[in-house]
C-alpha cells in the first residue's frame, strides 16, 4: 500500500539503531542498558535464535513478565527473520496451550513458574520449551552477533493473539511494515524526543503495550518496563525514573486519579495516552486537573489495524468524548448501510484503510474474510480494509464519536474478553449445563463480568465449587464478579437463550 513519500520503511529490528550510543535505552531491575548495550544484546539474542531455529518464518513464543527477554524479542526475532508470538503473562495454561498449538510455535521461552503449569500434552511435540534465564545465558555463551536484517518489510514479523466475540483467541498477523509505520506514526504525533522516558505498564503482548516500546525506540528514547501490583507503584516509578510518558487504560487512570500526587511528581509527565476504552468527560476533567502540564491523547485502536484515531490535546477540554481523527498512515471512513460514506451526524461503521491494516488472522480464512474486506470505493488507498464492526459518527468538524459495538465482546479493565471463552470454561467443569457470560457497565472497569448458569443434574450444590474451578482455568481479568444461578434460562423465538433478556434483568 502507498505511504507518504517522507516515510522510509525498514525491517523492524532497525529500531535498535535509532538511539545515541551513550543514551539510556532500557531500564531493567538488573540495571540500565544504553543504546550501545541494546544493540549488542539484540544482535546476540538474534544470533542465538537463528542458530536454534534456522527455519525462516518459524514462530517463537514468549510467556513471561516484563524484562530483558520480553523487551528484546520483538527486535531479536525480527532480526533472525522469525515470527514473534508474545503470550499475555496473565493467561493460564489452557489459553497458552491454544496459542502454542494454533501458531505452530517451534519454541516457547518462559518463566519456570508459567512453564510448570503446562501439562505434557498441552505442548506440541514440535515445540521446544526453555526457561528465559537459560536462554539469556545461552545467548551470552554463544557470543554471536547478527547484523541488521534485510527482510522485506511486508514479511510477517509478529502474531498478536486477541480475543474474539466468539471462541478462543485469534492471531493477528503483523508485518515489519505494519509495526514500523505504527511506531513512526505514534512517535510523530506524540512528538516523542530522545530525552523522553516512557513507563511501560501495559502488557507487551498487546498492540498498545508493544507500541510503548517501539514508538519510544523510534524516537531514540528510553523505556522503563513495569509490572505493577498497585497503582501507587506507578506513581513511585514516575518519581524515581523521571518518567515523561505514560500510556494506560481507563481503569488504571481512575485508580491513579485517586492517589495524592505530589505536584512535582505530576509535573514530570509531559504526555498521557489512553486507549482500550473511552475516557468519560468526568475522568478527562480529573486528569487535566491532576496533570495540568501534560498533554492528554485519547486514542482508539484495533489490533487488526494497530491504531486508528487520536484526539489532538488542544481539543480535549472542548471535545472530551471524541475519538478524534485518523492517525498518520491511516484513513478512517464512516460507512453507512448502503456502502457509502455516511453524512455528518449519521451513524455508520468505522472502516480503517491504509498500510497499518494487518495481514489477516493466522490460519483462519473464514474470520479473515469477515473482517478484512475490500476497502470502500471512497478510499484513497484501496486494497484491503478492516471493517471494525464499531459504530461511530462524524461531526461537522470531522471529529469522530463512538456509538456502540456490533459484537458481544466484554471490555473490562482494558481487556477484550470473549463471552464464549468464559462460558466454555464453565461448561468444561461439568458443574453447569448452561452458561451465559455478560458484560455489565461499571464506573471503574468499564464493564464487569456476570455469569448466568444453570446447574448440571446432581450439581445443585456447586455454588462454592464453580468459582474455585474457574479461578484455576481462567486469568484474573476473565473471572466473573457475580455468578447468577438459574433453574431455567429464558429462550427466545429462535430457540436460543435470550441473552438480551438476561442482560436487561441483570442490569435492572
Question: Minimal CA–CA distance to 313: which of 342, 279, 343, 336?
Answer: 279
Confidence of residue 406 (pLDDT cuts 50, 70, 90): low
Q: Residue 274 falls within a domain, yes or no?
A: no
Query: Phi/psi zone of residue 251: left (φ > 0), alpha (ψ -120 to 50 degrees), beta?
Result: alpha
Lowest-confidence segment of 240-244, 478-482, 491-495 by average pLDDT: 491-495
Lowest-confidence segment of 165-174, 340-349, 456-465 by average pLDDT: 165-174
Alpha-carbon span 143 to 159, nearest angstrom: 28
Q: What is the pLDDT of residue 319?
A: 95
SS3 at position 124: coil
Q: How many structural domains comprise the chain? A: 1
Q: What is the pLDDT of residue 281?
A: 86
Alpha-carbon span 36 to 22, nearest angstrom: 7
Over residues 16-34, mean pLDDT: 97
- Torsion of the alpha carbons at 307, 308, 314 and 315, rounded to the nearest 10: -130
Q: What is the pLDDT of residue 6?
A: 58
Alpha-carbon span 58 to 83, nearest angstrom: 6
Question: Minimal CA–CA distance to 46: which of 142, 186, 160?
Answer: 142
Question: Minimal CA–CA distance to 328: which of 167, 180, 137?
Answer: 180
How do residues 481-502 score in pLDDT, each as one tens digit? 999 999 988 876 556 788 889 9
The CATH number for 494's domain is 3.30.300.30
How do residues 95-151 score in pLDDT, each as one tens digit? 999 999 999 999 999 999 999 999 989 999 999 999 999 999 999 999 889 999 999
Query: Phi/psi zone of residue 106: left (φ > 0), alpha (ψ -120 to 50 degrees), beta?
Result: alpha
119 burial level (CB within 10 Å; 0-12, 13-18, 19+): exposed
- Torsion of the alpha carbons at 484, 490, 491 and 492, rounded to the nearest 10: -110
SS3 at position 375: coil
Strand bridging mode 245-248 / 197-200: parallel
* Cα→Cα distances 68→141, 204, 364, 366, Å: 16, 12, 32, 37
Q: Residue 447 falls within a domain, yes or no?
A: yes
Question: Minimal CA–CA distance to 128: which of 74, 49, 13?
Answer: 49
Q: Residue 469 falls within a domain, yes or no?
A: yes
Q: What is the pLDDT of residue 495?
A: 62
Alpha-carbon span 72 to 41, nearest angstrom: 8
Alpha-carbon span 448 to 101, nearest angstrom: 30
SS3 at position 286: helix
Confidence of residue 403 (pLDDT cuts 50, 70, 90): confident
Q: What is the pLDDT of residue 5?
A: 45
CB contact at 8 A, 247 and 201:
yes
Q: Residue 467 falls within a domain, yes or no?
A: yes
Name residue 417's beta-bridge partners: 410
Q: Is the pLDDT of residue 2 over 70?
A: no
Q: What is the pLDDT of residue 434?
A: 87
Alpha-carbon span 305 to 491, nearest angstrom: 37
Q: Is the pLDDT of residue 166 over 60?
A: no
Q: Which three cell numbers stand for residue 54?
A: 534456522
Residue % of the chain over a pLDDT of 90: 79
C-beta neighbour count of 346 within 10 angstroms: 11
Q: Residue 87 falls within a domain, yes or no?
A: no
Q: Is the pLDDT of residue 164 over 60?
A: no
Q: Which three cell numbers stand for residue 3?
A: 505511504
The owner of cell 495524592 is 260
How do residues 288-329 score in pLDDT, each as one tens digit? 999 999 999 999 998 999 899 999 999 999 999 999 999 999
Confidence of residue 212 (pLDDT cuts 50, 70, 90): very high
Lowest-confidence segment of 4-8, 53-57, 93-97 by average pLDDT: 4-8
Query: DSSP secondary-structure letter at 58?
Result: -
**Which domain does 501 fall in, by range?**
410-507
Over residues 224-237, mean pLDDT: 95
Over residues 261-277, mean pLDDT: 95
SS3 at position 283: helix
pTM for this predicted structure: 0.88
Over residues 450-457, mean pLDDT: 93
Q: Residue 458 falls within a domain, yes or no?
A: yes
Q: Residue 422 falls within a domain, yes or no?
A: yes
The DSSP H or E segment spanning 366 is: helix 365-371
Please tell me which residue, 403 or 27, carries the higher pLDDT value.
27
Q: Residue 439 falls within a domain, yes or no?
A: yes
Confidence of residue 1 (pLDDT cuts 50, 70, 90): very low
Q: What is the pLDDT of residue 419?
A: 87
Q: What is the pLDDT of residue 493?
A: 59
How do residues 318-352 score in pLDDT, each as one tens digit? 999 999 999 999 999 999 999 999 999 999 999 99
Q: Which three cell numbers stand for residue 465?
A: 465449587
Alpha-carbon span 439 to 442, nearest angstrom: 9
Q: Is the pLDDT of residue 234 over 90?
A: yes
Q: Is the pLDDT of residue 265 over 90?
A: yes
Q: Outline where 111-230 has alpha helix (H).
A: 112-115, 132-142, 176-189, 207-218
Over residues 452-469, mean pLDDT: 91
Helix axes 419-428, 465-473, angle to 10 degrees: 120
Alpha-carbon span 467 to 138, nearest angstrom: 41
Alpha-carbon span 253 to 243, nearest angstrom: 16
Q: What is the pLDDT of residue 498?
A: 85
Amino acid at each position: 500500500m502507498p505511504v507518504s513519500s517522507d516515510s522510509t520503511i525498514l525491517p523492524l529490528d532497525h529500531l535498535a539503531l535509532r538511539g545515541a550510543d551513550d543514551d539510556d535505552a532500557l531500564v531493567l531491575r538488573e540495571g540500565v542498558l544504553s543504546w550501545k548495550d541494546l544493540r549488542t544484546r539484540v544482535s546476540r539474542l538474534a544470533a542465538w535464535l537463528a542458530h536454534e531455529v534456522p527455519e525462516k518464518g518459524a514462530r517463537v513464543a514468549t510467556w513471561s513478565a516484563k524484562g530483558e527477554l520480553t523487551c528484546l524479542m520483538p527486535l531479536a526475532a525480527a532480526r533472525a527473520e522469525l515470527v514473534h508470538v508474545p503470550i499475555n503473562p496473565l493467561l493460564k495454561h489452557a489459553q497458552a496451550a491454544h496459542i502454542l498449538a494454533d501458531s505452530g510455535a517451534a519454541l516457547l521461552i518462559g518463566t519456570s513458574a508459567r512453564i510448570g503449569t503446562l501439562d505434557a500434552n498441552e505442548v506440541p511435540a514440535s515445540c521446544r520449551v526453555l526457561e528465559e534465564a537459560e536462554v539469556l545465558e545461552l545467548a551470552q555463551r554463544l557470543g554471536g552477533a547478527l547484523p541488521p536484517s534485510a527482510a522485506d518489510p511486508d514479511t510477517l514479523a509478529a502474531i498478536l493473539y486477541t480475543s474474539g466475540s466468539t471462541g478462543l483467541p485469534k492471531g493477528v498477523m503483523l508485518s515489519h511494515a505494519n509495526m514500523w509505520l505504527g511506531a513512526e506514526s505514534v512517535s510523530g504525533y506524540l512528538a516523542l524526543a530522545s530525552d523522553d522516558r516512557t513507563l511501560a505498564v501495559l502488557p507487551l503482548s498487546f498492540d498498545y503495550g508493544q507500541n510503548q516500546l517501539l514508538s519510544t525506540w523510534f524516537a531514540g528514547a528510553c523505556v522503563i518496563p513495569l509490572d505493577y501490583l498497585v497503582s501507587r507503584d506507578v506513581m513511585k516509578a514516575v518519581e524515581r525514573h523521571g518518567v515523561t510518558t505514560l500510556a494506560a487504560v481507563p481503569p488504571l487512570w481512575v485508580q491513579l486519579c485517586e492517589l495524592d500526587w505530589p505536584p512535582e511528581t505530576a509535573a514530570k509527565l509531559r504526555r498521557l495516552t489512553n486507549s482500550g476504552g473511552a475516557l468519560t468527560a468526568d475522568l478527562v476533567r480529573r486528569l487535566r486537573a491532576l496533570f495540568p502540564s501534560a498533554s492528554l491523547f485519547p486514542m482508539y485502536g484495533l489490533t487488526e489495524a494497530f491504531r486508528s484515531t487520536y484526539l489532538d490535546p488542544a481539543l480535549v477540554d472542548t471535545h472530551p468524548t471524541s475519538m478524534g481523527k485518523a492517525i498518520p498512515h491511516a484513513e478512517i471512513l464512516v460507512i453507512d448501510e448502503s456502502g457509502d460514506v455516511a453524512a455528518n451526524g449519521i451513524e455508520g461503521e468505522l472502516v480503517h484503510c491504509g498500510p497499518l491494516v494487518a495481514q489477516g488472522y493466522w490460519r483462519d480464512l473464514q474470520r479473515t474474510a469477515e473482517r478484512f474486506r475490500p476497502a470502500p470505493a471512497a478510499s484513497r488507498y484501496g486494497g484491503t480494509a478492516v471493517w471494525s464492526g464499531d459504530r461511530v459518527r462524524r461531526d461537522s468538524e470531522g471529529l469522530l464519536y463512538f456509538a456502540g459495538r456490533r459484537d458481544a465482546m466484554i471490555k473490562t479493565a482494558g481487556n477484550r474478553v470473549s463471552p464464549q471463552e468464559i462460558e466454555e470454561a464453565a461448561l468444561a467443569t461439568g458443574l453447569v449445563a448452561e452458561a451465559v457470560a455478560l458484560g455489565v457497565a461499571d464506573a471503574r472497569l468499564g464493564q464487569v463480568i456476570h455469569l448466568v448458569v444453570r446447574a448440571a443434574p446432581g450439581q445443585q450444590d456447586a455454588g462454592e465449587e464453580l468459582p474455585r474451578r474457574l479461578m484455576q482455568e481462567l486469568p484474573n481479568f476473565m473471572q466473573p464478579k457475580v455468578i447468577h444461578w438459574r433453574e431455567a434460562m429464558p429462550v427466545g423465538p429462535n430457540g436460543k437463550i435470550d441473552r438480551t433478556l438476561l442482560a436487561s434483568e441483570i442490569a435492572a
